[in-house]
């Protein structure tokens, strides 16, 4: 069981690093001001870490083990993702 947990932690770490690298490349190509670049990179990495911590807390607490109504999975994981996507798209709709 410990190997499975280490593998999951390694996969999460790898994905956060890969998304951070892709985000850094996108930020470097779109933002010219160094201060703004640093702020956006910090927001990206901070957001990824906070999201992983949120999922960890939900997983450890056992909140999602009960599938009774209302659908907890929808409210705890899917809805926040759609809210983030909506906010991101609305803030950046007029940018190239």
Span 71-84, pLDDT tens digits = 666 777 777 888 87
78 part of a folded domain: yes
Q: Which helix (H) or strand (E) holds 74?
A: none
Alpha-carbon dihedral of residues 64, 67, 73, 74, nearest 10 degrees?
-160
Give the pTM.
0.67
Mean pLDDT by 10 residues, the chain (96 residues): 87 91 90 90 89 84 71 73 80 72
What is the DSSP code (8-state) at residue 1? -
50 part of a folded domain: yes
Give the number of domains in the chain. 1
Domain that holds residue 70: 2-91
């Amino acid at each position: 069981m410990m190997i499975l947990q280490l593998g999951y932690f390694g996969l999460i770490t790898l994905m956060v690093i890969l998304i951070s690298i892709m985000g850094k490349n996108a930020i470097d190509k779109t933002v010219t001001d160094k201060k703004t670049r640093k702020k956006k990179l910090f927001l990206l990495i901070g957001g990824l870490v906070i999201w992983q911590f949120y999922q960890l807390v939900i997983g450890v607490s056992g909140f999602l083990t009960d599938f009774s109504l209302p659908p907890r999975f929808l409210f705890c994981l899917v809805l926040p993702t759609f809210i983030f996507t909506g906010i991101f798209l609305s803030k950046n709709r007029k940018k190239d």
